[in-house]
Amino acid sequence: MTARNAIAALALLPLTLLPACTIGGFGSSGKGEVLSVSAPVKLTPEFDTQAYTHDDANTADVYLTDLSDEDLAKLFEPGGAWGEVEGQIVHLRMFVRPKPGRTPIEATAASATVRYIILARGEIGIYDGAGFLQPGWSPGSDTFAGGVKGATMRLTRATDRFRDLLGPSELTLRFKAKRDDETAADIRTRAQALARFAEPVLDRTPEL
């Protein structure tokens, strides 16, 4: 199942949101895979827009999305065409930079939190989790690259008619994000607003 088909299948409802603003993209594309551990479903997204910001040498916030500027704007226009917007937003927060001999350097360790937002036909599904983020270098440079492998996630918030086809799942992702505080802040604002429209969910069985 392709990413678009799987997203379209994760079913859906129009909402009203906030004011529009533009998000810039970068040329290099992040690639990922979301693999359900309990159902025959896999997403293989590519993220054209990648940006990061950081507080210090140990922490970084990376934002990725496959939504275009036009689609992002639709989400925040009064009476916007929610049914036309399908895509994903990812927020990775590295809370500790792995250091050999001082912090665990293995896939089963946790050095980052993950928030994975799926938009489809006006519905919202939010998956949260954690995993090991291996950075290519320290935060603070113009570009921050790295990846996560097998980060565990599960649905934590959703709108009423969102169908959870993934269930508990694992995220593998590589990124190369440019430092752009403005773009990162814009995507963060959208992600936070979307989360407010989705209600906390109890454990759901994936819908086959």
Residue (of 169, 167, 165) closest to 148 by Cα position = 169
* Residue 21: pLDDT over 80: no
* Residue 100: pLDDT over 60: no
pLDDT tens-digit series, residues 136-182: 877 888 999 999 999 999 999 999 999 999 999 999 999 999 999 99
Tokens of 93: 């927060």
Query: pLDDT value at position 106?
Result: 52
Confidence of residue 73 (pLDDT cuts 50, 70, 90): confident
Tokens of 85: 């917007």
153 touches 170 (CB < 8 A): yes
Residue whose pair of structure tokens reads 């690639």 in the numeric block: 31
Report the range out of 11-25, 91-105, 181-195 with the highest average pLDDT.
Answer: 181-195
Report the amino acid identity of residue 140. G
Backbone angles phi, psi at 149, to 5 degrees: -135, 120
Mean pLDDT over the full length of the chain: 79
Gap between the Cα atoms of 158 and 126, Å rounded: 6
pTM of the model: 0.80
